[in-house]
Amino acid sequence: MSRGGSGGRTRVKTARGRTAASTRWLERQLNDPYVKKAKAEGYRSRAAYKLTELDERFSLLRGVERVVDLGVAPGGWAQVVRKMRPKAIVVGIDLLPTLPIEGVTLLQMDFMADAAPDLLSEALGGQADLVLSDMAANTVGHPQTDHLRTMALVEAAADFANQILRPGGAFVAKVLAGGADSGLVAGLKRNFTTVKHAKPPASRKDSSEWYVIAQGFRGTADSDA
């Protein structure tokens, strides 16, 4: 590893057993200002700033008391919620293990499992003010397939949000380039007063991720959303 260039950019030398792609990824991580900032401020991932920036724009965390974090690992979003709303009840779920976070109930299981919605609801102990979903399906390298797999998760998350949100609540979910499918957007517009797409500055420019932000839940469940 070496430093070069007038800006002090860290360059990574290709090591035995490391592919060129992994070398590029490591170099990008080491030079990513959000990664450095996350380490300095104690966040587990740069994704924490995506939620921070979305909150600055949409006031998502204002007054929230109960929050569900779908796809919680490694915990950056839950950390932001706890920092901004230290008394809020936060419940997270992920297939991957997540190190404990003070004040956060963590479930390690598949959100798509039949038992997951009831377990999340039980842990939350009431209606949610905000449902966050940073879930994305494991990619297979085929854009259309990856999009369909991720959108299936978003649709399931939206259906869950319709069941657990209080009137006036909000739903935020990661989608891929092009935003949410028209059918999903139509369902969200039936159930929320505003539906918008946003790409926070913390999302890498070459990333295909966007977020759909639905606010002002009308309090009417719609299983087609």
Instruction: Determine which helix (DSSP H) or strand (DSSP E) holds 213, and give its type and residue range.
Output: strand 210-217
Q: Confirm whether residue 77 is marked as ligand binding.
A: yes
Q: Confirm whether residue 168 is marked as ligand binding.
A: no
Q: d(Cα 51, Cα 61) in Å, to the nearest integer? A: 10
Q: Is the peptide bond before 74 cis (omega within 30 degrees of 0)?
A: yes
Radius of gyration (Cα) for the chain, nearest Å? 18
* 160 Ramachandran zone, left/alpha/beta (phi>0; psi -120 to 50): alpha
Q: Confirm whether residue 110 is marked as ligand binding.
A: yes
Q: d(Cα 24, Cα 13) in Å, to the nearest integer? A: 10
Residues with a known catalytic role? 174
Residue 123 in 3-state DSSP?
Answer: helix
Q: d(Cα 64, Cα 220) in Å, to the nearest integer? A: 20
Contact assessment for residue 216 and residue 62, using Cβ atoms and an 8 Å cutoff: no
Q: Confirm whether residue 32 is marked as ligand binding.
A: no
Q: Confirm whether residue 159 is marked as ligand binding.
A: no
Could you list the beta-strand ranges (E) of 134-183.
Answer: 165-175
Residue 138 in 3-state DSSP?
Answer: coil
Instruction: Give the residue numbers of the binding site for S-adenosyl-L-methionine.
Output: 75, 77, 94, 110, 134
Binding site, residues? 75, 77, 94, 110, 134
